[in-house]
Each structure stands twice: as structure tokens, then as C-alpha cells.
Structure 1
Amino acid sequence: TEVADIEVANSESKNLDGNELDRYTSKKTSSSKGSLEILNQLSRFWKDIKVLLFDKVYLTNSNADLLFGGVTIVCGIFGTLAGGYILDYIDSTISNAFKLLSGASFLGAIFCFSAFCSKNLYGFLFLFSIGELLVFATQGPVNYVCLHSVKPSMRPLSMAMSTVSIHIFGDVPSSPLVGILQDYVNNWRVTALILTSILFIAAGIWFVGIFLHSVDKFNEDSGHFSTTTERSDLLPLLEGSNKDTPESANS
């Protein structure tokens, strides 16, 4: 019986060694596959860079890039200024800022969506220019809400959080996500339409802000500053020295 037990134990140990060997082999195989995929991606990236740098295929779309960039610059400047001017004209309040944000985003979404549906170059430029003007018009109201929703001492932090949030939730993830979507859909028109549809969601979020209870804290005194009474009790240094001068002269 002891010999049989020893043989059973040896067979079990061999089975365990075989299982461990299989696990080790599978892990090694999976890690090698992962490294090969990374190397393949890097090689593809390097090939694309070589094509861009040496073959200069991007020059074929240079006119479109210049035209699109020029429209964006002009619409960005005038749209931003127009948004601030309109908000001042309709009475600058947080509620009106949300109304302007909702309306501009919704109309901008309509014009941009229509532009990407258009197959005519001039029609696209006209519709897209108006859409960009409306989208950029949201810059002023957004900054107004950020500044007037917090106490004066919190304004720098409010603007900093707004800027960081725009990058973290906006231009940083949008580029790779749009690239992944384009690789999946393989249709630039559909990709652009899906991307533009997000503006309708943004308009809905701004619309909800109209009905939220908001308090304008722009003129509130900050705890870091002294009150008017405290300021009046403080004498200027030069004035105090002037009052002391006659007394010192008489003495």
C-alpha cells in the first residue's frame, strides 16, 4: 500500500508540473502575442509617418485645410465677440446666459448638421460658417457663468477648472475617439454627422440650466478682504505721520 501511495503521489506531482508548465507556456504565448501586436502597431505608425514626411500625401488637401482653417479663425473671432455682445444686450444674468447657450448650441448644431449633409462646396461653406459662428458664440456666456456662479475668491479656480475640463473632456479624448469611430464606420460624412449630433445633447444640458436656481455671487464680498467699515478705521500711513508731525514739533 505504501508503494501504491508513493506512485499515486508521484503521478499527481507530475500532473501538477504539467499543468504549471501549460500555464507558464500559455502566459508566455499571450505576452509574446501582446508584444508582437505592439510592435506591429509601432511599425504601422512609422510607415505612416514615412509616407507623410517623404511622399507628402497631405499636400493634396492643402487647399481644403487652408479654407477650413480660415473659416474657423474668422468665425471663432467674430462668434466669440458676438456672444459676449448679445449677452450684454439682453441683460447679463445667469439665466439669460443659459438661454443664449442653449439657443446658440441648438441652432449651431442644426447648421453644422445641415452642412455635413450638403454635397455642394459653397452650400457647405455657408452653412458651416453660420454653424461655427453660433458654436463659438457660447464662449462668452460660459465664462460669464463660471465667473458669476462663485465668490470672488473662487474665480481663478473656477476658470482654471473650466479650462482643464474643456481639455480633459473635449479636445484630448475627442481626436482618438473620432479616429476609432471613423475606422469602424469608414465614412467621413457619417462620422461628422455623429460628432455634430453631440451639440444637440449640449443644447439640452444648457436648456436644463435655465430652470436651475442660480444666485449671482459676482458682487459678494470675499472672506479674504476686509469690509468697508474695517477699511475706514484704517488710517493711511502718510496721513498718520503728518498728524504726528505738529505734535512732535511742539514738543
Structure 2
Amino acid sequence: MAIDSTSLSEPAPSWFTPKRLLVVFCVINMVNYIDRGAIASNGVNGSPRSCTESGVCSDGSGIQGDFDLNNFKDGVLSSAFMVGLLVASPIFASLAKSINPFRLIGVGLSVWTLAAAGCGVSVDFWSITICRMLVGVGEASFISLAAPFIDDNAPFAQRTAWLGIFYMCIPTGIAVGYVYGGVVGGSIGWRYAFFGEAILMLPFAILGFAMKPLHMKGISFVLMWFYIQHQSIYFSSTSKQLSRFWQDIKALLLEKIYVINVLGYIAYNFVIGAYSYWGPKAGYSIYQMSNADILFGGITIVGGIVGTLGGSIILDRMNSTIPNAFKLLSTTTFFGAVFCFSAFCFSNMYIYLVLFLIGEILVFATQGPVNFVCLHTVKPSLRPLSMAMSTVSIHIFGDVPSSPLVGLLQDKVDNWRTSALILTSVFFLASGIWFIELRRDILDISLGVFTCLFATLFDYAGIFLDSVDRYNEDSEHVGPVIVQPDASPLLENKPATALP
């Protein structure tokens, strides 16, 4: 039966303006990543129990000291969070086709709030590990669904900038978490840091149910209504739902540009994830930073804000197309790798801080462009799943193994400088994936010796593949037309130009 799209038109909720949506989502994202920074801070993470040669033993501090964790087990706590995130992300993305995505975010934030409080009352390694998994489950709904909402409602000429503002909250939140965890954990105890996070998130969990929901581009309001009215029919067709899910996964895997983008993002996130978890501890060890949480947090805030906003605005100025996004991704990641690697080669702390800050600015410039590519290489109905599978991939192959592997490496070599240099080298791999193809002339001109190492590994790369922006393709179901009462640009910019 044909559906008249005009019959599906409905006004936006009274609370809604694009800027309000962006602000709310940014605050939620900030709290999510404050949690990531807090558990990595010296004040919360603490130090393991140790004994001197004379036999005098200390109790250690924080989570490591209370639960007597070595570096490997400590790294597992970071990965436990990701397990919940990875399992739940594709589930929430699939449910978005039958349950309003805005309500799913409310469910996820409620789980997150309860799990964060659970971390504060945990009694041993396994109890806090389970709570960290549930925190990941709670975050999964938001991570999968927030970016498509923002991209739907951002001014055309500033879509990447709006995504950049949203993803700027990742490094900023982690950095604030370092400071927050250091202050709260060091003064009144690490458990209270988790209680504070739960209190901060609780109002947003409530709002997820109290506010009238928005609808997402590519998702049919009529289809949702049918599923709600016929739940017995819908839930009895589990096999059909699984079949549809695998069809959508196959469609994503056939998008070469999307796959290349995610491969580069995996290598990139392998480093960023380990940096965010082990950074304060490594800085404290290598450069004897007595205030490592604050210093590392400050570098991450400045690098994250300047880099994420700068990269996003530059892409908009270049004209936000997929080829331009790959040029920016490969260039900034390569030079960011050079500066970060060089920083760890110096023993002077001040030289390290300057070089590492420049490197952080460059590597964080990827945040807007990489997610722009994820959203624009698939048709609208697949965007929640594309974000979910990108999240799953970058974590399951990126920062899930990187944190415990770096912890294991450090247990073996007992030298944080060596561990940091080995880790940072992976940035060159990320740059290579986003840039190279099996063409010797391009390799010799662009990346020289480094890229030659990668030439035999990849048949194609993002810059050289033909790319098509799928944003305006017809979705599989007709969706509602949302009236946007306030779609004025958040940032001043040049007039919008049509995509090629």
C-alpha cells in the first residue's frame, strides 16, 4: 500500500530546537567520558600493592590497591566496559527500526546510571567488572543513535562542525574525568567518584522518558506504530528479524569506503584507548609528574577541543565531501603520529608536553571527519547500524585489546617509555590505511619509508576509491517530515554549496 509522506508530517516537539538537542547530547556525552577518565585517573585507579627489598609492604591505593590488581587485570576493567558496549550497540541499532530511538536512549541512560552507582558499591574484582560491563550496555544506546539525530538536524553547511562539537566531548570529558577522579578519589575515596557520575546522569535518564520523542530520518513512524500495535506478531518473527539484521550487516560490508574508514578507525582507536587509560600512569612514571592527572587532563582538554573543532571546521571549509575527509584523516594522523612519537623520545618534561600537545591536536582532528564518513557512506535507514558497527569494530579490535595488552607489555618490559613508543607507532598504520593503495609512485611521494611497510597489506584506500554520499538516498521506509523551528547555523560560515 502506498503511503503519502505528507500524511506522516508532524510538528517537532515543543522543547525541540536543533541547538537544544546538540547541547543536551553534548552534556550526556561529556558525562559518559568523564566516567572513562575518572576510572583511569590516579585518584580512582590508584596503584597496586608493593613490597620493598627490605620486606616492607604498602597497601596501594584506589581500585588497584583495594582489589589487589596487577596491570593486566587493571586493563581488563577497561575492556569489560567495552564488552557491554559491543554486545548492546547492534541490538539498540536494530531496535531503532521498531522502537522510537529517543526512548531507547532513555533506557540506556537508566542502565548507565544504575551501573555507575554499582561500581561505587562493588566489593571485589568480579563485581566491579560486571558493573563496568553494564555501564557499557547503557552507553551503547546513546553512542549508536545520537550522531544520526545531530546529523539530521544540523545546518547543511556545518554538519561536520556540529558532529565535531559533539565528538569534542570525548577528549574533553576524559580530561575532566582525570581531574575529577584525581580530586574526588584523592580526597574522599574512589567510590564517591562513581556515585557523583550517577547523580549527574540521573536527570538525563529521566528526560529520556519524560520528553516527547523525536523521530529519525529513514525510520518510518507508521512502521513503528504497526510494530507497537502488533507486538505479538512482531516478536514471534525473531528469525525474520535476525535475517534482516544480517542483510543489513552484509550491506554495510559491501560499502568499501565504509569498511576502509572503520579499518583506519580501529588502528587509531587502538592507540587512543590505551592513551586514555594508561596516560596518567605513564606520565607519572616517565616524567615523575606529581600532578599527572591534572597535566595529562589539561593536555587532553586543549588538544581535544582545538583538534576536534579545528578538523571539523576545516572539512566544512574544504567542502565536506568523503574524499576531502580522507585527505584530512590521513594527513593529520600521520603528522600527529610524528609529534607524539617524538615527544616520548625526549627526557625533558617540558619538551614532551609541547610536542605531545601538538600531536594530540592533530590526531583529534579526525573525530568529525571519520564519523562524517560513517554517516554518509550508507543510506539513511542504515545509519544507526553503521554507527553501532563502527563502535563495535573500533572497540573490539581497538581499545578492548589495547589496554590489557599494553598492561601486559608493561608488566614484561617494566619501562613506560618503551611501551608508549611501541603503542604510538600504531598511529602510522592508521594513517596508512586511510591514505595508501598499491601504487608505488603514490607511496614514494607521500609517506616514503613508513607507507612502503603497509603497501603489501592493502589493495585500496579511502582517498583513491570512488565515493558516493548516500545521505540523500531514498530510505527503505518513508519517514516523517520534521519541522525545524531553529536551524540557524551554530557557527558563522561561508554560504552552503551543493554537494558534488
TM-score after normalising by structure 2: 0.34
Amino acid in structure 1 at the alignment position of 2:378? V
- Residue equivalent to 2:374: 146
Q: Greater shift after overlay, 216-225 or 131-140?
A: 216-225
Cα pair distance change 1:139/1:46, threshold 3 Å: closer
- Residue equivalent to 2:303: 75
Q: Map 1:167-206 to 2 at 5 A.
A: 167-206=395-434
Cα pair distance change 1:47/1:191, threshold 3 Å: closer
- Tell me which of 303, 318, 323 is aligned to 1:90: 318
Deviations 1:152-176 (A, max 9, x none): 1111111122222222222222111
Distance in 2, Cα, partners of 1:210 & 1:199: 18
SS in 2 for 1:51: coil
Distance in 2, Cα, partners of 1:114 & 1:46: 30
Q: Does 1:106 align with 2:334?
A: yes
Q: Map 1:26-175 to 2 at 5 A.
A: 47=49, 50-53=59-62, 61-175=289-403
- Residue equivalent to 2:467: 214
Q: How far 1:188 moved relative to its partner?
A: 1.4
Report the count of equivalent residues.
183
Distance in 2, Cα, partners of 1:131 & 1:189: 16
Q: Which has the larger radius of gyration?
A: 1
- Residue equivalent to 2:196: none
Distance in 2, Cα, partners of 1:101 & 1:217: 20
The Cα RMSD (Å) is 2.7
For structure 1, the residue ranges without an aligned partner over 5 or more in a row are 1-44, 227-251
For structure 2, the residue ranges without an aligned partner over 5 or more in a row are 1-46, 51-57, 67-185, 187-280, 436-460, 480-500
Q: How far 1:142 moved relative to its partner?
A: 0.6
Cα pair distance change 1:147/1:79, threshold 3 Å: same
Q: Which has the higher contact order (CA 8 A, sep 6+)?
A: 2
Q: How far 1:218 moved relative to its partner?
A: 1.0
Q: How far 1:47 moved relative to its partner?
A: 4.4
Identity across matched positions, percent:
68
TM-score after normalising by structure 1: 0.66
Q: How far 1:82 moved relative to its partner?
A: 0.9
* Structure with more helix by fraction: 1
After TM superposition, where is structure 1 displaced by more than 4 Å over at least 4 residues in a row?
45-49, 53-56, 58-62
